[in-house]
A and B are shown apart, each in its own frame.
Chain A
Amino acid sequence: MSMDVVRHAACVCLTLLAACGRSDSGGGSTPPSVRYPDHVAAGGNQPPAVEVNSPLTADSANASDGSKIFSSMNCDGCHGGGALGWVGPSLVDGRWRYGGTDGALYQSIFYGRPRGMPAYGGVMSPGAIWKVIAYIRAQPVPAVVPTQRWTGEPRR
């Protein structure tokens, strides 16, 4: 069927398992739960939960590793090259269905989401997930773009 705008980094195959299967660099163990500060809390009280933060520093090496993992784990097959959105939503518009905190992103990748996001916890280590999050965080988010304008003559 038809597709795409999908880029797949040339690394992959063998490095994949090394990068994703075992690497545990800085990831620690799976958190029991995460806090969603952007959810409405019943009664105004947040449920007790761990606030999960990335153990990685926001450096270009982590983002670069995350970019390769984003391709090698086929994330771009759904979210598009550059995570700009494809059959899955854009990850670089600064807006989030399930919360945009580190912990919420981790939860989305590790456990999946019900409308089609696969659970990658079975094939990606916590360290690899944090690197993908570092990559997403490193992408430029456009300034607020509430209005799309078509002005002047049609371009085609």
Chain B
Amino acid sequence: MRMAPFAAGALIVLQGTAPRDDGQWTMPARDYAATRYSGLTQITPANATRLKPIWSFSTGVLGGHEGQPLVVGSTMYVVTPFPNVLYAFDLTREGYPLKWKYRPAVNPTALGTACCDAINRGAVYADGKIIYNLLDGHTVAVDATDGHELWRTQIADLSQGETTPMAPFVAGNRVIVGPSGGEFGIWGWVKGLDLATGKILWTAHNMGPDSAMLARPGVGRYVGEPNIGVSTWQGDSWRRGGAPVWGWISYDPQVDLIYFGTGNPGPYNTEQRPGENKWTNSVLARRPRDGTLIWAYQFTPHDSWDYDSNAEMILADLVVGGRMRHVLVHFDKNGFAYTLDRVTGELLVAEPFANVTWAKGINKRTGLPILDTTKTTGASRGNVKGICPSLEGGKSPASPSAYSPHTGLFYTATNNLCMNFEAAPVTRIPGTPYIGATTPYMAGPGGNMGEFIAWDAARGHKVWGIKEKFPVWSGSVVTAGDVVFYGTLDGWFKAANARTGKELWKFKVGSGVVGAPISFRGPDGKQYIAVYAGIGGDWFLLSGDVRSDDPADVRPPADFAPELARHTSQGGIVWIFGL
């Protein structure tokens, strides 16, 4: 199958063949392989202690500032949480003034259909366009030069509980998008839009009949049984079974496949959806041109714990078991880090990167988890205690990892939280939550609720870690200078030596960090690091008293992290740091 020609401006970086870094950051994870690796070398472990703030800008928006800016040429683009303002900053002028600001009309009703704050995970640049999703189920393309709207397409249905905070991905001339709504009983999908016009060219559901999944069993490498998206569910429960696509997408142009994870099955009460619930909590490989499902692997069959698999699939070439393999690496909410052959879907490595109690391991031959059945949940099983990780995940998919081909290591935020889980029956009412569980959290062993770690994905073990008091919920960027950056919920932005894990520098950025840092080269030839401050996302729900804008909504601090609200409140700020 031939792939479509690449859009102008698209970058291809594959490990081992990385061209010299052009200093831009044009897509969410910087490259198709989702590495979040910057080839820039000016900032090093030796000089990182001299990093200082260069510039900051209040976005005027309070929602959780997930995602990352883009830098294209000498312009930096920032998408805010709802109401999804798009700012274009001129990096050639002192103070980086705005070139323009795009203000879409966004339906505020979406605020009641977004499960976990009014977040946005960023934009993508392609073909002269900045493309991103509005929370209310639209994708827009804006002229990168002057900010005028080029097209606007409704992709999702608020009335069914679908919202769209994910960052679109462009492969060839297709814009790939998906919805949130795993807590609203949606029928999860991805869509392929025409880059030029925004027209929806294909829709591929993640469950249901093969015709809806664009699956052709026996063709190519897809080996699922016919209509496995129906037979692994009871009755028509797949129609409201969740499997949202709210995370990140990667692309291997050599084999012409996109890779993305699907989210949790709904509702949380397992007894309303007997079966393996394919393809929830899975990685799917599809052809970007027409959406055809090529292979799939389910990380957590019949999910009992809200272990979405929306985390990034990082593409790398690693020596595994003495052989060079084209792999994808994935840190799942379920606490295991997986290394799979990305051409065939073969499972190569699956080892815990966080404290795990729900399973004793992963059977490499069958690919199935070896369950601790005392941790299985359901309405008839009462309050099941001591489940680790919590449903925030061993790592949140909202906190994308980075991979350095220079060190060969993967860098990721992690959470050290456990939970109790009491499920109950629930009824689907379209446009309202469809959940059915009470799930209080507590700190895991050691008491530190988070750790930033470096991971060897060929062998499946942690190389180093920096323990943090609170869960670590930021993305990360690693540079060719061997410096890795991340932020904390209590508002520190930090640099560490990518080889040793030694903390090099930190700065208090004004609000908790749930965004993902980037590195770029400015018009002055210098290397910079940019990151958002602005606590939110799940922490809008979990932190307790961090919102100060609403006199009619006053809450106590979180019971499991009462100190968090002492260090941060909401509020979006874009920061740029340099030497």
**A interface residues with partner B (beta carbon < 8 Å):** 1-10, 12-13, 16, 71-74, 76-78, 81, 84-90, 93, 95-97, 114-118, 123, 145, 148, 150, 154-156
Contact = CB atoms under 8 A, between A and B. Distances in A.
A77 B432 contact: yes
A43 B498 CA distance: 66
A84 B555 contact: yes
A11 to B, nearest CB: 8
Contacts of B269: 8
A132 B6 CA distance: 56
Given A73-B432, A78-B112, A150-B563, A2 B424 contact: no
Given A3-B391, A87-B116, A97-B552, A12 B426 contact: yes
B109 A74 contact: no
Nearest to A7: B438
A90 B429 contact: no
A74 B561 contact: no
18 contacts: A1-B244, A1-B310, A3-B116, A3-B183, A4-B435, A6-B437, A8-B425, A8-B436, A77-B434, A81-B438, A93-B554, A114-B108, A114-B109, A115-B108, A115-B112, A154-B566, A155-B562, A155-B563
A155 B246 CA distance: 35
A116 B553 contact: no
Interface of B: 108-117, 180, 182-183, 244, 246, 263-264, 268-269, 306, 308, 310, 379, 391-393, 396, 422, 424-427, 429, 431-440, 443, 447, 469, 538, 540-541, 545, 550-557, 561-563, 565-566
Nearest to A72: B427
A3 B435 contact: yes
A12 B427 contact: yes
Contacts of A2: 115-116, 306, 308, 391-393, 396, 538
A8 B429 contact: no
A78 B566 CA distance: 25
Find the residue from B115, B244, B246 having the highest chain A CB count within 10 A.
B115
B566 A118 contact: no
Main secondary structure of the interface of B (DSSP, over half): loop
A74 B110 contact: no
A118 B432 contact: yes
A148 B112 CA distance: 28
B553 A93 contact: yes
Contacts of A154: 563, 566
B437 to A, nearest CB: 6
Contacts of A97: 550, 552-553
Contact of A116 (B109, B268, B308, B435): B109
B112 A6 contact: no
B424 A10 contact: yes
B527 to A, nearest CB: 34
Contacts of A16: 427
A150 to B, nearest CB: 5
Nearest to A149: B566
B115 A1 contact: yes
Given A1-B264, A154-B563, A74 B434 contact: yes
Given A150-B563, A156-B447, A6 B433 contact: yes
B280 to A, nearest CB: 13
Contacts of B115: 1-3, 87
Contacts of B538: 1-3
Given A7-B424, A116-B109, A116-B113, A85 B434 contact: no
Given A5-B440, A85-B555, 19 more contacts: A1-B183, A1-B308, A2-B391, A3-B115, A3-B268, A4-B437, A4-B438, A6-B435, A8-B269, A13-B425, A13-B427, A81-B438, A87-B112, A87-B116, A95-B551, A95-B552, A114-B108, A116-B112, A156-B562
Given A4-B439, A90-B554, A150-B563, A77 B433 contact: yes
A10 B110 CA distance: 28
Contacts of A12: 425-427
Find the residue from A3, A90, A116, A154 having the highest chain B CB count within 10 A.
A3
The 8 A-B pairs of least Cβ separation, nearest first, read A116-B112, A77-B433, A116-B111, A89-B553, A8-B424, A74-B432, A95-B552, A97-B552
Contact of A73 (B109, B424, B429, B552): B429
Contacts of B244: 1
Nearest to B545: A148
Given A12-B425, A95-B552, A115-B108, A77 B439 contact: no
Find the residue from B114, B263, B555, B562 having the highest chain A CB count within 10 A.
B555
B296 to A, nearest CB: 20
A43 B150 CA distance: 46
A114 B3 CA distance: 44
Contact of B427 (A74, A88, A95): A74
Nearest to B396: A2
A154 B556 CA distance: 16
Contacts of B561: 156
A148 B110 contact: no
Nearest to B244: A1
A24 to B, nearest CB: 20
A127 to B, nearest CB: 18
A1 B563 contact: no
B227 to A, nearest CB: 27
Contacts of B562: 150, 155-156
A10 to B, nearest CB: 6
Contacts of A81: 438
B245 to A, nearest CB: 11
A74 to B, nearest CB: 4
Find the residue from A4, A12, A72, A115 having the highest chain B CB count within 10 A.
A4
Find the residue from A84, A87, A88, A148 having the highest chain B CB count within 10 A.
A87
Find the residue from A9, A73, A89, A123 having the highest chain B CB count within 10 A.
A89
Nearest to B431: A118
Contacts of A76: 433
Contacts of A8: 269, 424-426, 435-437
Contacts of B268: 3
Find the residue from A1, A3, A97 having the highest chain B CB count within 10 A.
A1
A117 B112 contact: yes
A89 B108 contact: no
Contacts of B443: 156
